[in-house]
Amino acid sequence: MGVLIIMIGVLSMNGCAPSNQEAHSPGQQTMMSYMEKKYGETFTFVDDIERTNHNEIFVTSDNLPNEYIRVHMDKESQVITDNYICFLMQSQLNNYISSLVESVYGPNQVFTNTLSEDKDILALMPESVGPNLSIDEYVKNIQGQIYCHIYLYADETTRDDDLEILRSALEARGCRIVLDIYYVKELSVIGQIEETRQLSYWEKENINLCGYFSMDQEYQLVPVINQKWTPSNQEVMMSYMEKKYGETFTFSNMTTESYGQKETQASGSMIIGGAYDEIRVSSDKLKGKSIQVHMDKKSKIITDNYICYLLRPQLNEYMSQLIESIYGPNQVFSRVPEGYIAALMPEAVGPDLSIDEYVKYIQDHTIFIDIYLYANKSTREKDLETLRSALEIRECRVPSLTIYYVNDPSMIGQITEKKRNSSDWEVENTKIKGSFKMDREYQFVWDGKKWLDAKNY
């Protein structure tokens, strides 16, 4: 399970990079002692996060040196929980579920990870769920927190009857899970899935049918989406895009990411993210752009960033007109970032949205805006406040804004992406710059110095 990569992402988003420092506070030492006593082995302290209601530390073990283990202590009750047992039982859990599935469907491959019900993170287990617990007892303790992908080759016409048999078998064992069932097209696929299921076109070429189910307190299976059985996630996302935008898209590749499970792209490189499936597509309108389409694995909600590309020219013009009313002539360049920080928009943000409405939606998404202007830098604080107020009135909370004061007014209108991205161009052609973010109260915030001279870029 790729928790090392995932937890690095989680720690970084909270401003805490792994530090390999020593546990030093009494709370940290208490949690370290708890782990050593519970599991009878030595752990290495990596980092900690302090929350309002609890403290957490991250540790590694000699048994699983590449996994980040989470230990949690409630501040009020002092109760400690951890997820190390989830790593230790992973292989047994896979075999347990696979054996049960085989008794109903025949040959299969199962991939499981253990989640908490409120967040897509490895479940935290109490002291009673320890290394001496049998697999039969373990599945009863984590009921509702097993996330299971089942790949099988079986008769699809009996899928509802077979699903009920599986449900009944799970209930008899006190095993309440969340499961995705995939019917593969060829028997030869079974046994080969682990290394190939994340490659480009894999789902489209190898999956006939999918079913996504959660299990309620009475052990009844509940379809996660309206359809009980659906095409593959890839086909669902492709259909969503074509319906939303009224045009045809070309599939490029697909990635999958689950907390506690190592996943790769077609290139074999790691990605950082939560529990989601994501495809990249291209359109005839914007050739060369890699458009991201993202589906949350639990909610099945789909988001995309195509609208950010479509409305980019309008956003540039909108911002430029606003800037001109304050500073005078300018050039604006907005950028749509890709990867895990992409500006993924909900279905409501579509091609019929006006630019005035669109700017209200981007406030919670990452859009980078660079502004080049020729103006009196001695009034920059006053002008910046005027800009801030104008953005607040329009409910446009810019996630990332950089203002450059250029050396010569003749440069305005002549700046290109190629020029500004070339080595030392900004140092040679601008006087000062300020880089800002906007908080939820529409106030500008910044890291380090508010304004930098060109020599200090």
The reply to whether 241 and 339 lie within a common domain is no
Q: Retrieve residue 6's tokens.
A: 């995932």
Cα–Cα distance measured from residue 76 to residue 246, given in angstroms and rounded to the nearest whole number: 54
Place of tokens 């097993």: 146
Identify the domain boundary among 286, 304, 322.
304
Residue 87 domain-assigned (yes or no): no
The reply to whether 334 and 287 lie within a common domain is no
The reply to whether 296 and 319 lie within a common domain is no
The pLDDT, as a whole number, for residue 268 is: 27
The reply to whether 265 and 386 lie within a common domain is no
Identify the domain boundary among 82, 116, 146.
82
The reply to whether 291 and 389 lie within a common domain is no
The pLDDT, as a whole number, for residue 156 is: 86
The reply to whether 417 and 313 lie within a common domain is yes
pLDDT (tens digit per residue) in 378-391: 999 999 999 999 99
Q: What are phi and psi of 314, to 5 degrees?
A: -65, -40
Q: 300 burial class (0-12, 13-18, 19+ CB within 10 angstroms)?
A: middle
Identify the domain boundary among 36, 54, 82.
82
- Taking only the tens of pLDDT, the chain with its 457 residues reads 343 333 333 343 343 434 445 666 888 999 999 999 999 999 999 988 877 788 899 999 999 888 889 999 998 999 999 999 989 998 999 999 999 999 999 999 998 877 654 444 567 889 999 999 999 999 998 877 788 999 999 998 899 999 999 999 999 999 998 899 999 888 998 988 875 565 545 776 788 888 999 999 999 999 987 778 877 677 788 899 999 999 999 988 766 665 433 333 333 222 333 467 788 899 999 988 899 999 887 788 999 999 999 999 999 999 999 999 999 999 999 988 776 556 899 999 999 999 999 999 887 677 899 999 999 999 999 999 999 999 999 999 998 999 999 999 999 999 999 999 888 899 999 999 999 999 999 999 998 899 999 888 8
The kind and range of the H/E element at 414 are none
The pLDDT, as a whole number, for residue 207 is: 85
The pLDDT, as a whole number, for residue 116 is: 56
Q: Which amino acid is at 116?
A: S
The reply to whether 292 and 381 lie within a common domain is no
The reply to whether 283 and 354 lie within a common domain is no
Count up the domains in the chain and report the number: 3
The kind and range of the H/E element at 49 are strand 43-50
Q: Domain span at residue 431?
A: 309-456
Cα–Cα distance measured from residue 193 to residue 443, given in angstroms and rounded to the nearest whole number: 50
Residue 245 domain-assigned (yes or no): yes
Q: What is the CATH number of the domain that holds 426?
A: 3.10.310
Residue 168 domain-assigned (yes or no): no
The reply to whether 448 and 383 lie within a common domain is yes
Residue 148 domain-assigned (yes or no): no
Cα–Cα distance measured from residue 59 to residue 46, given in angstroms and rounded to the nearest whole number: 5
The reply to whether 286 and 380 lie within a common domain is no
Place of tokens 């073990």: 61
Q: How far is CA 421 from the centre of its chain?
A: 28
Return the number of other C-beta atoms located less than 10 Å from residue 264's C-beta. Answer: 17
Residue 227 domain-assigned (yes or no): no
Residue 228 domain-assigned (yes or no): no
Q: Retrieve residue 292's tokens.
A: 């991201």
**Distance in angstroms between the alpha carbons of the first and the last residue of the chain:** 40
Residue 163 domain-assigned (yes or no): no
In 3-state terms, what secondary structure has residue 46? strand
The reply to whether 432 and 359 lie within a common domain is yes
The reply to whether 380 and 436 lie within a common domain is yes
Residue 95 domain-assigned (yes or no): no
